[in-house]
Structure 1
Amino acid sequence: MLDLTRILAGPVATRFLAGYGAQILRIDPLGWEEPGTVPEVVVGKRCARLDLKSSHGMITLKKLLADADILVHGYRTDALARLGLDREERQKLRPGLIDISLNAYGWSGPWQMRRGFDSLIQMSSGIAHMGMVKADKPHPLPLPGQALDHATGYLLAGAAIRGLTRRAMDGRGVEVRASLARTAALLTRYPVENGLIAQIEPEQSDDFAPVIEETAWGPAQRLRPPLMLEDCPMYWDLPSVRLGSSSAEWM
């Protein structure tokens, strides 16, 4: 899998798939960092850097894409097209590609080119307003976590698996589009029972994975995976590493 995503939905998707055997190569721009979040989302991945605005960077990316089964990208709607790598070119380079993309506000309407992230979507979709009303607060109240990011991440992971099973049947590639705004719309369909706001429970010792991971930042202990597949435990072959610590090539 070629991972061209940033905080947070895309990295959640590729982290999940890495835990079930996918070889993930994450590509970041030169100098890009995500302080405080990188150790959480790069476990099981190799991380390289490319300047996609340079001819060398784009040539390298195209070579990587030609050998990829799945591409996950989180750029704005026209970003890859402006770099000469639109959807037709991607399928030409890699026939049968599972091409998965996400953005903030979708691919139609007046906000399709607008940048955004989880907290902004919660504000603009009415989720924060609903929290304010339900909690009787004088100000908008977002959810106590980045629920749209995480939910979208697992939708993307499911789409990747579904795309592979379909390709195994008919040999054809699949294009999947997701957006944080669409996930917000799905979430707001569920009623808030009894008008109550869920309480965050204090952490318990069994919330944590039993294994200590030797990351690039020192020993760390993760929370347990959010889900389990029967007879197939989630396991990451690689510990968390710093961005740019690998070469831009498949192993």
Structure 2
Amino acid sequence: MVNPFWNAMSDAVFGEAVEAYSAHGAGHLPSHYKVSDFAEATVGLAGVALARLRAGQGGQVTVDRRLASLWFDMTLRPDGWEAPSLWDAVAGNYRCKEGWIRLHTNAPHHRDAALSVLGVPVDREAVAGAVQAWDVAALENAIVAANGCAAQMRSAEAWAEHPQGRAVAQEPLVHWQDHGSCSPAPIKSLNGIRVLDLTRVLAGPVATRFLAGFGAEVLRIDPPGWNEPGVEMEVTLGKRCAGLDLTRANDLGRVKQLLSEADVFVHGYRGDALERLGLGDDVRRAVNPRLIDVRLNAYGWSGPWKNRRGFDSLVQMSCGIAALGMAEEGASNPVPLPVQALDHGTGYLMAACVLEALAARAQGRIKSARVSLARTAHLVMQHRCALERTGAIASAAGDFGEVLEQTGWGPAHRIKAPLQVMGAGPRWSVGAGPLRRDPAAFGAR
């Protein structure tokens, strides 16, 4: 089968013809978009990038389509303990006077911002009642102005005419930047490669989880008070997790020291955030001229929303994905993708960019890359399909591995990995665990 996403993504990452991968397995995630094709292709893209790094010209890469689709969702099954809810009590879709809005309130300060605008307590019924009195565009603007996170549901046609939609449509899938030459340093594996991870839910952590699974040393840094209880068991697998406050001079200095020691910096701060913290592009380049910098933004790198906070579920509302699902199904409320596919797919795209940049550095060039959820959405929206529930993919007991993973919350089983690269799959040296449990330091080389 020719994967409809493969050419666009491989051209964006490699810029040349590359070896295809082989895929097996059947079924699909039920959607009006080709989500399982997208899952298969993005996992395969990262696998091909790893094979190229290891073998120079590539090697055998095999993707299990069914397992790739399942890895676009939660992959851990607790054994004797219960996982937290993915969403807080307020997050979700609400009906305004006209139209729908989604509130993203998993972070306490984002929830506080939304509630301050609405003037209600943490009560879902009270929120729903208050929202009904608002014009949807006015409420979106008010919550964003209060440093909250919200998105009104727009149609694909409305998004195409929106200034941000027009800007994103003109952007490449990957913004590559060449920083010039360096001394070559041949590399055949990720062992010994240090990755500094300053990303949050969910795309960036998917990228660094992939890299950790194939040997990279990943150190994740989170600020005080930040928690992701519903997904920590997914995003911390294989990583050291430390805490630093970048608004404090000593901690900022520590991050600069870690940057000087790192091979790769993966981050998901909004477009202007690192500059305001004193870690702008010029600073990072001066601290470590050989640093590979792969950066994620929600709404793209140009246009009026380039510095807007955003998450997968919000981008799906903004760009027309949720509206199309609602219209096609004749539903009474928004119908997003069955999984947070923009996050997961962008995560594997980021991992492929890291690997391709490492291969370039081995040949004597320093490259960095920028991607966005909105530009990934633009790609996904070009590949629609008829909704077919027959043969839909759902996890089963046989999908989980036999090896018991010792997590920071208790034992668990994880779904089998979907990828084999040159005969080997990922292996994570440490199970998932809570944030800020480790010192802010890389291990010895």
Give the TM-score taking structure 1 as reference length: 0.95
Of 81, 85, 88, which residue of structure 1 is paired with 2:279? 85
1:97: which partner in 2?
Answer: 291
Any conservation in 2 of the 1:135–1:197 contact (CA below 8 Å)? no
SS in 2 for 1:131: helix
1:213: which partner in 2?
Answer: 405
Task: Find the aligned partners of 2:257 and 2:302 in 1 and give their Cα distance.
Answer: 31
Any conservation in 2 of the 1:46–1:241 contact (CA below 8 Å)? no
1:54 partnered with 2:242:
no
Task: Find the aligned partners of 2:291 and 2:363 in 1 and give their Cα distance.
Answer: 14
2:430: which partner in 1?
Answer: 238
RMSD: 1.2
Any conservation in 1 of the 2:419–2:425 contact (CA below 8 Å)? no
1:178: which partner in 2?
Answer: 371
Any conservation in 1 of the 2:220–2:239 contact (CA below 8 Å)? yes
SS in 1 for 2:421: coil
Any conservation in 1 of the 2:417–2:425 contact (CA below 8 Å)? no
Task: Find the aligned partners of 2:417 and 2:410 in 1 and give their Cα distance.
Answer: 20
SS in 2 for 1:203: coil
- Count of paired positions: 248
Report matched runs for 1:89-168 at 5 Å. 89-168=283-362
2:381: which partner in 1?
Answer: 188
Task: Find the aligned partners of 1:16 and 1:224 in 2 and give their Cα distance.
Answer: 14
- Measured after TM superposition, the shift of residue 197 of structure 1 is 4.4
Task: Find the aligned partners of 2:363 and 2:314 in 1 and give their Cα distance.
Answer: 40
Task: Find the aligned partners of 2:223 and 2:260 in 1 and give their Cα distance.
Answer: 20
- Measured after TM superposition, the shift of residue 147 of structure 1 is 0.5
- Measured after TM superposition, the shift of residue 202 of structure 1 is 3.6
Q: Aligned AA for 1:17?
A: L
SS in 1 for 2:370: strand
- Measured after TM superposition, the shift of residue 168 of structure 1 is 0.5
2:169: which partner in 1?
Answer: none
Q: Aligned AA for 2:274?
A: L
- Measured after TM superposition, the shift of residue 136 of structure 1 is 2.4
Any conservation in 1 of the 2:198–2:221 contact (CA below 8 Å)? yes
* Alignment CA distance shift 1:160-1:198 (3 Å): farther
- Measured after TM superposition, the shift of residue 139 of structure 1 is 2.5
- Measured after TM superposition, the shift of residue 158 of structure 1 is 0.3
- Measured after TM superposition, the shift of residue 229 of structure 1 is 1.7
- Measured after TM superposition, the shift of residue 173 of structure 1 is 2.0
Of 208, 226, 231, which residue of structure 2 is paired with 1:37? 231
- Measured after TM superposition, the shift of residue 81 of structure 1 is 0.6
Q: Which has the larger radius of gyration?
A: 2
Task: Find the aligned partners of 2:232 and 2:204 in 1 and give their Cα distance.
Answer: 13
Gaps spanning 5+ residues in structure 2: where? Answer: 1-194
Task: Find the aligned partners of 1:181 and 1:198 in 2 and give their Cα distance.
Answer: 27
Task: Find the aligned partners of 2:215 and 2:419 in 1 and give their Cα distance.
Answer: 16
Q: Aligned AA for 1:178?
A: V
Q: Aligned AA for 1:205?
A: A
